[in-house]
């Protein structure tokens, strides 16, 4: 009997030991799972923070690029306006000079011709001879003033259409993306000189290059004002 009791006590002790070991193992597994979940959560948070930082940097870069483009465009527009103003001023000065010279010539032509009566010969009148000016430079000056402006170089661009897009859509652009413009298919394109509309036309192909066939012109006075 004592041996059986000892065996029973040993068996109970072994079961307690196994139960304790199993409990410790389960606690260790639970702790390990908790640590893994915390690490995964921390990694996810870091990834989200990194993505948010990258997106913020991208938006800041886009905003900075847009600001620089706007400043460059504004500077180019100011330079173009200054050039346009200078060209317009020179053209107006040339036209004013031409009108002044034409008025002077007309004034000379309209002067009454002197009539002198020869003494001793009643009824005989003498008229001064009228000759054209022999100074060709004076006559060609107005045309030369206009010709001086003919070599001025102006930027010509063709505008197919325009649209506006949100930054989100711009970031989503990729190969194969389609951007819808504000003009219908087959509608004439705009011909711009220094960003000023002067004509409209249709797109053609000239020796493997694109070209424009002008179909509608702005009036000369409006074109001069736009320049």
Phi/psi class of residue 195: alpha, beta or left (left: φ > 0; alpha: ψ in -120 to 50)? left
The residue extents of the domains of the chain are: 154-174+182-227
CA–CA dist 134, 136 (Å, integer): 6
CA 33 to each of CA 29, 196, 213: distance values in angstroms, whole numbers, following the listed order: 6, 70, 74
Provide the pairing of β-strand 196-206 with 189-193. antiparallel
pLDDT at residue 112 greater than cutoff 90: no
Task: Judge contact between 155 and 193, C-beta under 8 A.
Answer: yes
156-188 pLDDT per residue, tens: 999 988 899 999 999 999 999 999 988 888 889
Structure tokens at 144: 């030369």
pLDDT digits (tens, 9 = 90+) for 197-209: 889 999 999 888 8
* pLDDT reading at 11 higher than 80: no
Residue 157's pLDDT is: 92
Separation of alpha carbons 62 and 38, rounded Å:
36
Q: For 80, how many CA atoms within 13 A lie in the half-sphere containing its CB?
A: 16
Q: Does domain 154-174+182-227 have CATH number 3.40.50.720?
A: no
- pLDDT attached to residue 127: 58
């Amino acid at each position: 009997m004592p041996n059986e009791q000892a065996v029973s006590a040993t068996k109970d002790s072994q079961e307690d030991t196994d139960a304790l070991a199993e409990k410790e193992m389960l606690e260790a597994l639970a702790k390990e799972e908790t640590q893994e979940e915390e690490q995964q959560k921390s990694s996810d948070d870091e990834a989200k923070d990194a993505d948010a930082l990258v997106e913020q940097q991208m938006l800041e870069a886009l905003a900075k690029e847009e600001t620089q483009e706007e400043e460059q465009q504004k500077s180019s527009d100011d330079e173009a306006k200054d050039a346009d103003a200078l060209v317009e001023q020179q053209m107006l000065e040339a036209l004013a000079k031409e009108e002044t010279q034409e008025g002077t010539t007309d004034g000379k032509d309209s002067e009454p011709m002197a009539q002198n009566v020869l003494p001793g010969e009643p009824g005989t009148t003498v008229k001064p001879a009228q000759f054209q000016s022999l100074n060709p430079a004076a006559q060609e000056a107005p045309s030369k003033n206009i010709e001086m402006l003919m070599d001025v170089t102006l930027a010509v661009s063709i505008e197919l259409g325009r649209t506006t897009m949100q930054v989100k859509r711009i970031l989503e652009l990729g190969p194969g993306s389609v951007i819808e413009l504000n003009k219908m298919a087959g509608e004439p394109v705009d011909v711009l000189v220094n960003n000023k509309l002067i004509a409209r036309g249709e797109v053609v192909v000239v020796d493997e290059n694109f070209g424009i066939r002008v179909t509608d012109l702005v009036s000369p006075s409006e074109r001069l004002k736009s320049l």
